[in-house]
Structure 1
């Protein structure tokens, strides 16, 4: 369906939907969105999707429903910032001050052409600068400290075999900064800046492995720690899939789901998954209240887009970004969605998670 700049049809009044078989497959081949509309990760251009919807629009129920259905076709990993994405049969890792499970952002990418301790140290320094608003001197000091932590563990950029050793964690970083603080004022400032992170201790604990359906519950963490933890998990997923080589079949091996994507900001890890994940069998679904919370790279590389009702202040940017009329979006009711598969657009009543056939 083509929309002219002038008189655009109101999609909520469509009496007929065009559903080419290569885009909207049969139930046996795909994931039900709602009505007669299905999403098949094996037939679309890429296995990525995004959902935009305001408070009360049904965004969380929609993402949860798709994640549940996809879990029957592929491995699913959920980064849960609000603690409301629980699914039957999941393995849930609660990450907080008192939990046994942790996340190690210092885990290495073992790709010999694009990994190793030096690159990871740089990535972490950049991430911490953005998340914690570090100054240039603090960023440089933190970069040196990350590199030195790897060095102390006998891990060097030159020796690929050393990358297989147990990586350092933030206990190593905290100990190093404490040693340096007495004679190095910049190290002392950095130690104070990171004191909250050290106190929570989530980056000091062992990190469990992802299972077939895994939910990382980060809801008890402050926003800054959520951003670092979520970015680390997404980065690790991409690294692991890339290391396994090209996937070779259309259906993805794993799909990552993230509600409230704004908590990650414009994550470089998500940009990498959106750009290259399909090749290595990794899909990505993100949801947010505004398209402004999702990077341009992720939006550009996402084939499937669902628009639920949004706040009136978001109407102009949502209409421009997803090529729908403001009127069509404004007339949506909760759990009504405009669905775009590439150039094909339809309106659908979403079947929410609570109406799905779950145990």
Structure 2
């Protein structure tokens, strides 16, 4: 990311107002405002400026509001994503707790239901052949397809009172091809993080599924950052509208807000209500942009954070008119955000936008990955056939070896018997020689006696 990055926001007191992330205590920006206040349009304007500055960005798009800015349009519903994937250096047991927490928060499950999910994930890992759930994945873990997880959940004893309600709440998970076709994860972050990438989430059936997909992708990003290592320069922005869907204790978003800065990543979040964010999160944001809030509770909350009377937020009626507080300054500034449509580059971008062209890279990557996967599967199948042939040959060799061993035994036995017979023949021959000598002596004696008798 350009160290001198300066994002034009709009006009304050008749002068241009820019956001300079490097000048703030961190690169994170949070914007809040009610429906129609200009919050989403502000995000679009910022996206346009980041695109102009050639800053890599990853946008989780719940309503297809941002695809026009995409260099890489990620139609993620065409891919596969294994919710229980254990990435390199992750421990299966850690993933078990993280994913069960995600599912519990997204679907508003109780503690017992979360425990059922957690235990089912453990069973899934064990049935996948993982012997030690506390051992980091060194690249050797291979999981069963996610569809088997459904079977494990369905096989949970129905006597457990939490099971029927749990199945009713999470059954939509098992209707999503992104998950159910996953025998692995076809999405690599190298494929997703390319210039300005927009991940389309609109096509998924429910808000819960959209939020879970987003959570899982951010979990992948966090692990990717851990492996990539720390960075002094900001090289990526993650942008999330409707961030309230993903804010809960220990969520990937919360973790990114705390740790992503040291990995060179900035976070831009937007939500309708400021109370969707904790006071700690708002207090630690490098920049806050706040628009009209009609609810007294929300106006009071903003008043405390930006040190402005609550009535100021309630009186904001013009779309895009709000207050901006930079951590590098003591006071918030009133600003009229310049609409994205009033920025000269927008018309050219809108005119040249071609959805098929912008999604071409991702779709080609999916085809390439599928081709490699098919090739791998073919090799696996070929290897299995070779293994069968090898086993058959080994069996034949074993039979031949057995026959040879039997023949060798008989030959050795015959040799032993032959040697024994030869010894016997030699013995008998020796005895026969002695007998012959005795007979010859006897004949000599007889001959001598006969001679005496004749005399």
Q: TM class by shorter-chain length?
A: 0.7 to 0.9
The residue correspondences of 1:78-97 to structure 2 (distance < 5 A) are 78-95=59-76
Deviations 1:254-307 (A, max 9, x none): 111111112224362111111111001121111111111223443232110001
SS of structure 1 residue aligned to 2:221: helix
Calculate the aligned-residue CA RMSD, in Å: 2.7
What is the distance in 2 between the residues matched to 1:351 and 1:279?
31
What is the distance in 2 between the residues matched to 1:348 and 1:191?
49
What is the distance in 2 between the residues matched to 1:222 and 1:119?
27
Aligned to 2:81: 103
> Which one of the candidate residues 46, 58, 61 is aligned to 1:66?
46
What is the distance in 2 between the residues matched to 1:320 and 1:348?
19
Q: Report if aligned partners of 2:60, 2:240 keep a CA contact under 8 Å in 1.
A: yes
> Which one of the candidate residues 299, 308, 325 is aligned to 2:309?
325
**Is 2:244 aligned against 1:266?**
no
Aligned to 2:136: 160
Q: Report if aligned partners of 2:293, 2:313 keep a CA contact under 8 Å in 1.
A: yes
The residue correspondences of 1:141-156 to structure 2 (distance < 5 A) are 141-155=116-130, 156=132
Bigger RCO (CA 8 Å, 6+ sep): 1
What is the distance in 1 between the residues matched to 2:170 and 2:321?
44
Structure 1 residue runs of 5 or longer lacking an equivalent are 1-26
Q: Report if aligned partners of 2:33, 2:274 keep a CA contact under 8 Å in 1.
A: no
Q: Report if aligned partners of 2:293, 2:314 keep a CA contact under 8 Å in 1.
A: yes
Scaled by the length of structure 1, the TM-score of the pair is 0.80
> Which one of the candidate residues 32, 50, 53 is aligned to 1:52?
32
The residue correspondences of 1:171-250 to structure 2 (distance < 5 A) are 171-178=147-154, 180-181=155-156, 185-186=159-160, 189=164, 190-204=166-180, 205=182, 206-209=185-188, 210-212=192-194, 213-220=196-203, 221-249=205-233
Q: Report if aligned partners of 2:61, 2:240 keep a CA contact under 8 Å in 1.
A: yes
The residue correspondences of 1:339-358 to structure 2 (distance < 5 A) are 339-342=324-327, 343-356=330-343, 357-358=345-346
Q: Report if aligned partners of 1:57, 1:334 keep a CA contact under 8 Å in 2.
A: yes
Aligned to 2:416: none
**Is 2:42 aligned against 1:42?**
no
SS of structure 1 residue aligned to 2:86: coil
Shift of residue 161 of structure 1? 4.7
The residue correspondences of 1:291-306 to structure 2 (distance < 5 A) are 291-306=274-289
Q: Judging changes above 3 Å, is the alpha-carbon distance between structure 1 residues 168 and 353 closer, same or farther for their aligned structure 2 residues? A: farther
What is the distance in 1 between the residues matched to 2:146 and 2:168?
14
What is the distance in 2 between the residues matched to 1:349 and 1:77?
26
Q: How many residues align?
A: 324
Q: Which has the higher helix share?
A: 2
Aligned to 1:335: 320
- Which has the larger displacement, 99-108 or 185-194? 185-194
Aligned to 1:138: 113
Stretches of 4+ moved more than 4 A in 1? 161-164, 166-169, 190-193
Deviations 1:92-121 (A, max 9, x none): 2335xxx4224333233534xxx3110010
**Is 2:92 aligned against 1:117?**
yes
Q: Report if aligned partners of 1:106, 1:168 keep a CA contact under 8 Å in 2.
A: no
Q: Report if aligned partners of 1:174, 1:191 keep a CA contact under 8 Å in 2.
A: no
Shift of residue 57 of structure 1? 1.3
Q: Judging changes above 3 Å, is the alpha-carbon distance between structure 1 residues 82 and 168 closer, same or farther for their aligned structure 2 residues? A: farther
Q: Judging changes above 3 Å, is the alpha-carbon distance between structure 1 residues 166 and 100 closer, same or farther for their aligned structure 2 residues? A: farther
SS of structure 2 residue aligned to 1:194: helix
Q: Judging changes above 3 Å, is the alpha-carbon distance between structure 1 residues 143 and 89 closer, same or farther for their aligned structure 2 residues? A: closer
SS of structure 1 residue aligned to 2:100: helix
Scaled by the length of structure 2, the TM-score of the pair is 0.65
> Which one of the candidate residues 123, 127, 144 is aligned to 2:102?
127
What is the distance in 2 between the residues matched to 1:278 and 1:79?
19
What is the distance in 1 between the residues matched to 2:320 and 2:22?
25
- Greater C-alpha radius of gyration: 2
Aligned to 1:309: 292
Q: Judging changes above 3 Å, is the alpha-carbon distance between structure 1 residues 136 and 92 closer, same or farther for their aligned structure 2 residues? A: same
Q: Report if aligned partners of 1:266, 1:295 keep a CA contact under 8 Å in 2.
A: no
Q: Report if aligned partners of 2:30, 2:287 keep a CA contact under 8 Å in 1.
A: yes
Q: Report if aligned partners of 1:131, 1:228 keep a CA contact under 8 Å in 2.
A: yes
Q: Judging changes above 3 Å, is the alpha-carbon distance between structure 1 residues 242 and 338 closer, same or farther for their aligned structure 2 residues? A: same
